[in-house]
Amino acid sequence: MYRKYFTFTAWPFERALDPEELYPSTTITEAQARLEHLLELRAIGLVTGEAGSGKTTVCRKLSASLHPGLYRVFYIPLSTGNIMDIYKSIGWELGLPTERNRAAAFRAIRT
């Protein structure tokens, strides 16, 4: 009803926001800079924040800007769990064998 009344061309409160439509607030800009720094370091990072703060959208925006032949991006939505669950998820995404202990899993991911 309000879409027609206000002549919106798209739904204004979509859950999956187009990354290009993300408002470049100070927090969003800082998150983008930190993720780009992780790329330069060839490191693994963790993005945390309040629900609806733009975490996924910032990651999607960065992911869309990367060459698919040079980078492999995957999303691990873990709100609970332990470090071994995270290592197993990363290993699985990279096609690595599942390791039984934390040190072996970490070594497999690092190499």
| CA separation for the pair 36, 42 (Å, rounded) | 10
Tens digit of pLDDT for each residue in 50-97? 888 888 888 888 888 899 898 888 888 776 778 888 888 888 888 888
pLDDT score, position 79 = 67
Tens digit of pLDDT for each residue in 30-54? 999 999 999 999 887 888 888 888 8
pTM higher than the cut 0.85: no
Write the DSSP string, 56-101.
HHHHHHHHHTS-TTT--------SS--HHHHHHHHHHHTTPPPPSS
